Chain A
Amino acid sequence: MKAVCWMGTNKMSVENVPDPQILNRRDAIVRITSTCICGSDLHLYNGLIPTMEQGDIMGHEFMGEIVETGAGVDKEKLKVGDRVVVPFTIACGRCFFCEQKLWSCCDNSNPNYWIAEKMMGYSPSGLFGYTHMLGGYAGGQAQYARVPYADVGPLKLPEGIPDDKVVFLSDIFPTGYFGALNCDIKAGDTVAIWGCGPVAQFAIRSAFMLGAERVIAIDRFPYRLQMAQEGGAETINYEEVDDVVQTLKDMTANIGPDSCMDAVGMEAHDDGFMYKLDRAKQALKVESDRPIVLRQCIQACRKGGTVSVPGVYSGFADKIPMGAFMNKALTMKTGQTHMMRFMQPLLDRIQKDEIDPSFVISHRVPIDLAPEMYKTFRDKKDNCTKVVLDPWAN
Chain B
Amino acid sequence: MNQTIQSRDYDSAPCASKTTERKVGPIIAGTSMALLGLSRRSKSGLALALAGGALAYFGSRRNASEDEVLAHGSVLLNCSPQEAYALYRNFEELPLIMQHLESVTKIGQGRYRWIALGPMGTSIRWDAEMVHDREGEFISWRSLPGSDVDIESAVRFQTAPGNRGTLLSAVTRMDPPAGKLKRIAAKLLNTFMIQQDLRRFKALIETGEIPTTEGQSHGPRSRMTAALRVADPTRPPKGDSEMSEVFNAKRRIA
Q: Show the binding face of A for B, using Cβ within 8 Å.
A: 1, 3, 5-7, 13, 15, 17-21, 23-26, 50-57, 72, 92-96, 99, 107-115, 118-119, 126, 131-133, 135-138, 142, 146, 148-149, 285-288, 315-316, 318
Contact = CB atoms under 8 A, between A and B. Distances in A.
Interface in B198-212: 199, 202-203, 206-212
Contacts of A148: 211
Given A23-B212, A95-B78, A132-B239, A286 B217 contact: no
B70 interface: no
A109 B203 CA distance: 8
Given A94-B78, A115-B243, A51 B236 contact: yes
B215 A316 contact: no
A110 B237 CA distance: 17
B219 A51 contact: no
A92 B206 contact: yes
A93 B206 CA distance: 9
A23 B214 contact: yes
A72 B216 contact: no
A143 B212 CA distance: 21
B220 A114 contact: no
B219 A5 contact: yes
A108 B211 contact: yes
Contact of A26 (B209, B221, B242): B209
A95 B209 CA distance: 13
Contacts, number: 155
B219 A113 contact: no
Contacts of B250: 315-316
Interface in B217-254: 217-222, 225, 236-239, 242-243, 245-250, 252-253
Contacts of B196: 114
Nearest to A142: B217
A19 B210 CA distance: 22
B199 A54 contact: no
A108 B239 contact: no
B78 to A, nearest CB: 6
A111 B202 CA distance: 12
Given A95-B78, A96-B164, A148-B211, A55 B219 contact: yes
Nearest to B244: A50
Pairs A-B, 4 closest by C-beta atoms: A5-B219, A51-B239, A50-B242, A132-B236
Contact of A56 (B165, B219, B247, B249): B219
Contacts of A7: 219-220
B217 A138 contact: yes
Nearest to A111: B211
Contacts of B239: 50-53, 112, 115, 131-133
A54 B225 contact: yes
A57 B219 contact: yes
Contacts of A138: 213, 216-218
A54 B219 contact: yes
B192 interface: yes
Contacts of B213: 23, 111, 135-138
Interface in B132-177: 164-165
A286 B249 contact: yes
A340 to B, nearest CB: 15
A6 B128 CA distance: 49
Contacts of B214: 23
B36 interface: no
A119 B211 contact: no
Contacts of B215: 21, 23
20 contacts: A21-B215, A23-B212, A23-B214, A24-B209, A56-B218, A57-B219, A94-B207, A99-B78, A107-B206, A108-B202, A112-B239, A115-B236, A119-B243, A132-B236, A138-B216, A138-B218, A142-B217, A148-B211, A315-B246, A315-B249
Contacts of A133: 239
A50 B207 contact: no
Nearest to B165: A96
Nearest to B209: A24
Nearest to A26: B209
